[in-house]
Amino acid sequence: LVATANVVSDIIKANPTAAPEAVAVAAKSITEEVIAKNPHYPKAGADSEDVIYVEISAEDTKNVVDQVEKDIAAGKPVDEIKPTVPTIPDAKPGKPVKPDPLPGGGTGATGGN
């Protein structure tokens, strides 16, 4: 699920006007390749707590979406479209994100001032 969400985000960013069907087919195809290369995504391995990410170029996502859109325009059923996905780049180590502390040090959960 995490891989799919990340891929969909990359596709929409690179192809903001793509049809929802094209985004869905492209995301499925690219995600399958990401998972095939990184079976424990978003973890680095089965026994690892290290997080990884895969950066797929805008050009690559655009090419996959273009293939899908051409097939859709040609009348090919969506469930039969199998675009060629470029080689998935090697995963990179993720960087932990530390949230900014809340002003005043409170969590806001108690409603106090």
Q: Domain residues of the chain, as ranges?
A: 2-98
* Cβ proximity of 61 and 18 under 8 Å: no
| pTM of the entire predicted model | 0.80
Low-confidence ranges of the chain (pLDDT < 50): none
What is the C-alpha to C-alpha distance for residues 25 and 78, in angstroms, rounded to an integer? 7
Q: List pLDDT tens digits, range 51-69.
A: 999 999 999 999 999 999 9
Q: What's residue 1's pLDDT?
A: 79
Contact between 12 and 30 under an 8 Å Cβ cutoff? The reply is no
End-to-end CA distance of the chain: 39
